[in-house]
Amino acid sequence: MELVVINGPNLGFLGQRQPEIYGTEGMDALPGLVERLLGEDAGRIRLTLFQSNSEGALIDRLEEAWKIKSDGIVLNAGAYTHTSLALADCLAWTGLPCVEVHLSNVHARQSAMRHTSLIARHCIGAIAGFGIMSYALAVQALWQRLAVQP
């Protein structure tokens, strides 16, 4: 199973960006966490990582995933979560199974803008607040949905 993990703007320096909010781990911690959650099954999942600060590149990557029939998407769209109708439109028409993730608990953040997500309605579900573990939990959720459940 191929899952594409897509990170949006300002997520290229995880571990260094405001660690008090976003944690001290980088994306390199993800495979180990997935292995811890999924054990042997982790070997049946190929994770492809992508990060871009630009909205169009994120849409291009989603379209690519659709074109090559990737199995699912783990998406942290960063601030575009709260603003990008274009990204929401792309998720809507491509229809790939997607889990929205956030490192921080966006619902507990001060700015009310962070409490809304334009992409949520086009996702299977959302996981927020667990740092890099949010991504690993999203991978586990997609694995359960796509490979384990009939």
- Residue list, annotated binding site for substrate: 76, 82, 89, 103-104, 114
C-beta of 109 vs 145, nearer to ligand DQA: 109
C-beta of 70 vs 117, nearer to ligand DQA: 117
- How many residues comprise the chain? 150
**Distance, CA of 4 to CA of 75 (rounded, Å):** 8
Cβ 24 to ligand DQA, closest distance in Å? 14
Other Cβ atoms closer than 10 A to 25: 17
C-beta of 85 vs 148, nearer to ligand DQA: 85
Residue 48 binds ligand DQA (CB under 6 A): no
Cβ 90 to ligand DQA, closest distance in Å? 17
Catalytic residues: 22, 102
Q: How many helices (H) and strands (E) does the chain have?
A: 6, 5
Cβ 148 to ligand DQA, closest distance in Å? 27
Q: Is the dihedral of CA 99, 51, 59, 147 positive or negative?
A: negative
Burial class (CB in 10 A: 0-12, 13-18, 19+), 63: middle
Residues 73-132 that bind ligand DQA (CB under 6 A): 76, 78-79, 81, 102-104, 106, 114
Put the strands of the sheet holding 98-102 in their side by side order.
Answer: 46-51, 2-7, 72-76, 98-102, 125-128
C-beta of 113 vs 147, nearer to ligand DQA: 113
Site for ligand DQA, rule CB under 6 A: 10, 76, 78-79, 81, 102-104, 106, 114
